[in-house]
């Protein structure tokens, strides 16, 4: 794709620039474990990642991927909605990744919901350390995806600019509803 990165690659670049070895991080949507593997490779042996998903299949897929990479001991897999992250994670964390929508290869009727995602984002903002970052890759090509995106943009636009920087990163001329990125950095 040239110099301009796709949303997920740009999210990873942002996180790679702030998440340090030995830190804690959260994968708010474990899915098939790609983001969990990415985060656990950055935090190193002394760091810890909490990965949340409501679907057992997602956590099994994530566990298998982590085991193949030798990273399983760095991760706590939690079968709960991401809105409950503050119950499990003491904080502070250096990064939180959301990859919204449905589980690829799973049941496409089970999707992230605006209310629970916003609740999780509110918790995440409190858990984030200064200089830390939250990334939300938003998919709008499924039922409810556009509504979730609009609600997240509206919520994110109300976050205090004295405390956080909020970035929207998207392609404007692409077909088929490409995902886009919201990134929030704690000042």
Condensed to tens digits (0 to 9), the pLDDT of residues 161-172 reads 999 999 999 999
Q: Which residue has the tokens 């002394």?
A: 46
> pLDDT tens for residues 106-121?
999 999 999 999 999 9
User: What is the per-residue pLDDT across 31-80, written as a single tens digit (0 to 9) for each?
Assistant: 999 999 999 999 999 999 999 999 999 999 999 999 999 999 999 999 99
pLDDT band at residue 19, thresholds of 50, 70 and 90?
A: very high
Could you read off the pLDDT of 126-157 as tens digits, one per residue? 999 999 999 999 999 888 999 999 999 999 99
Structure tokens at 27: 């994968």
Q: What is the distance between the alpha carbons of residues 164 and 33, in angstroms, rounded to a whole number?
A: 28
What confidence score (pLDDT) does residue 41 get?
Answer: 98
pLDDT of residue 87 exceeding 70, the answer is yes
- Check residue 113 and give its pLDDT: 97
Which DSSP string corresponds to 143-178? TTHHHHHHHHHHHHHTS-TTTEEEEEE--SS-SS--
| pTM for the predicted model, two decimal places | 0.97
Distances (CA, A) of 170 to 109, 126, 158: 25, 26, 20
Domains located in the chain, CATH noted: 7-186 (3.40.50.150)
The predicted pLDDT at position 2 comes to 78
């Amino acid at each position: 794709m040239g110099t301009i990165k796709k949303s997920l690659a740009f999210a990873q670049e942002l996180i790679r620039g702030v998440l340090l070895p030995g830190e804690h991080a959260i994968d708010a949507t474990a899915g098939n474990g790609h983001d969990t593997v990415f985060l656990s490779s950055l935090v190193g042996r002394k760091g810890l990642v909490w990965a949340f998903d409501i679907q057992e299949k997602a956590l099994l897929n994530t566990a298998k991927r982590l085991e193949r990479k030798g990273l399983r001991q760095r991760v706590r897999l939690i079968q709960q909605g991401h809105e409950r992250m503050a119950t499990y994670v003491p904080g502070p964390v250096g990064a939180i990744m959301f990859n919204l929508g449905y589980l690829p290869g799973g049941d496409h009727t089970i999707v992230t919901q605006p209310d629970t995602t916003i609740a999780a984002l509110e918790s995440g903002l409190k858990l984030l350390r200064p200089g830390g970052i939250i990334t939300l890759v938003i998919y709008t090509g499924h039922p409810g995806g556009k509504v979730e995106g609009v609600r997240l943009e509206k919520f994110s636009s109300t976050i205090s600019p004295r405390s956080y920087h909020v970035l929207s990163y998207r392609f404007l001329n692409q077909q088929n509803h490409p995902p886009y990125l919201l990134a929030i950095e704690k000042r």
